[in-house]
Amino acid sequence: MSVEARPDTKVATAQALYGALATGDVDAIDRLLAPDFVGHAAPGLPLAMGGTHVGAEAMRTNLWWRIGEHFKVRAEAEDFQPLEDGRLVVIGAYRGTARRSGAELDAAFVHLLSFDGAGRIASLNQLTDTAAWHAALDGGNRLQTIDFRVEDGVATICLNRPAQRNAINLRMAQEFLEVARRIAADPSVRAVLISGNGPALTVGGDIAYFLEGGGEGYDRLFERMIWPFHEAFDILSRIEAPIVAAAHGAVAGGGMGFVYAADLVLAAEGTRFVPAFAAIGLSGDGGGTYHLPRLIGPRRAAQAYLRNTPISVDEALEWGLVNEIVPADELHSRATALARELAQGPTVAFATMRKLLRESWGNDLTAQLAAELRGTKKTGITRDAAGAFSAFAQKRTPTFEGR
C-alpha cells in the first residue's frame, strides 16, 4: 500500500532534483521521477523548449539538456509551499548566463510539483519569465529588425523594418546570422519560412545606412555587414529543414538572397525581382552570381545584372525563379500552410534531398549515383521510412516524426 509522503520529504525530493539537474546526474534524476512523469514547460520559451514533455527522457532532451546546451544556469529554489492537496509549490529563480552571448539570466520561476504514492515526482508545471530567457539569448537585446519564432516545427524569419521596406543594414545582417544559428541548433525546427512585413520582402541594402556609415570607407563597411549576411545563408544551406520563401513587392539587390536560400518560393502577384547592383556601382552579394545563372540561365542572369533589368513575377515563374504566383492577400496564409506541410514530412529525407540537390552541381553522374546510394541507405534506417513502409502496406497515410 502506498503512503502519502510527508511535506518535508517532498521538499527534500525537490531539492534533490535541483541538485541532480545542476550536476547532470541522469541516474539520480530518473530515480526521483515517476515512470509516467509529465512535464509542462512555460509556453513561449526560446528554442522550442516550452510545451508538454511526456516522460523523463523527453523532459531531459527537450528542456533540461537544451537549457544546459545554451545556458550556464542553475535553478535556485528559495521557498517551498506545501498545498493541502499534496502538491508542492517551489518559488525561485534561474540564474546564470547564456553561453553564446554571455548575457546574464535572472528569470523568476514557479514550479508546481505533484507526487506519486512512492514519493516520486509525477509532474512538474513550470511558470517562468520567458522574456528574460529570450533577452539573455539575444545578448541582452531583443531582435529589432527580424520577427523570429518557432511554432509547431516551423521557424519563421520575418524581416521587420516595414518603414524602410525591409532594407538591410548591419543590424539586420547580424540578427539574420543569429537566427540562422538558432535554427541550426534547434532540433525541433522541421521547416523554415522567410517573409517580410510591410510593402516589400526587401529592397536590398539600406542606402541611407551606407551613406551614414561611409565615413569608415565603404569597403570596410561592406566587409562588416556582408560577412554575417553570407554566413547566415551558408548555415541555412546546410540545415536539415526545407525552406519556404514568401516574396512580395520589391525583392532587390542582396535581398534576393532570401529567395535563393529557399527550396520553394511563393510570390505575390506583381512582385518584381531586381539585382539593382549596376545602378549603384556594386558587383553584388547575397549569392546571386552563383544562384541566378543556375536558376534562370547565364544569359538572362547576365542581362539582369549588367543592364539592371527587372524580372517580372510572370518571368520568374516561367524561368524557374519561383514555384507559384498567388494573390497578394493569400500569400501569407499559403506560404505558412506550405511550411507547416513540410514540417510534418520526413525531415531526414528532406535534409538528404537538399544535400543531394545542392552537391549535384559539383558531381559527375557516377559521383551523384554513389551519393544517392549513400543517401538512400541513411534514410532507409530512419523511423520515418519504417513507419511509411508499414503505412503503405496497411493502405493508410503515414505520420512522420522527423527522425
CA dihedral 348, 354, 357, 363 (to 10 degrees): -70
d(CA 401, CA 320): 31
pLDDT at 4: 58
User: pLDDT for 102-113, tens place per residue?
Assistant: 889 999 999 999
Other beta carbons within 10 Å of 235: 19
DSSP 305-337: HHS---EEHHHHHHHTS-SEEE-GGGHHHHHHH
How confident is the prediction for the chain on average, in pLDDT? 92
Residue 399 pLDDT level (bands cut at 50, 70, 90): confident
Residue 389 CA to residue 393 CA, distance in Å, equals 6
pLDDT in tens, 342-365: 999 999 999 999 999 999 999 999
Least confident piece of the model among 26-30, 56-60, 78-82, 393-397: 393-397
* Number of DSSP helices (H) and strands (E) in the chain, helices first: 16, 15
Asked if 93 contacts 104 with a C-beta cutoff of 8 angstroms, the reply is no
pLDDT at 2 over 80: no
Instruction: Convert the pLDDT of each residue in 250-276 to its tens digit.
Output: 999 999 999 999 999 999 999 999 999
Look at residue 5 in the predicted model and tell me its pLDDT: 66
- What local confidence, expressed as pLDDT, does residue 1 receive? 35
- 196, 206, 104: which is closest to 164 by C-alpha? 206
> What is the per-residue pLDDT for 141?
60
Domains of the chain: 7-138 (3.10.450.50), 146-344 (3.90.226.10), 347-394 (no CATH)
Direct distance between the N- and C-terminal alpha carbons of the chain, in angstroms, rounded to an integer: 41
Per-residue confidence (pLDDT) for residue 216, from 0 to 100:
65
Q: Given this model, what pLDDT does residue 219 score? A: 83
d(CA 294, CA 76): 55
Which pLDDT tens digit goes with each residue over 309-341? 999 999 999 999 999 999 999 999 999 999 999
151 pLDDT more than 90: no
281, 234, 224: which is closest to 257 by C-alpha?
A: 234
Residue with cell 510527508: 6
Burial class (CB in 10 A: 0-12, 13-18, 19+), 333: exposed
More confident site: 4 or 157: 157
In this prediction, residue 100 has a pLDDT band, given cuts at 50, 70 and 90, of confident
Residue 60: all three cell numbers together: 531531459
Strands (E) in 152-227, as ranges, are 154-159, 191-196
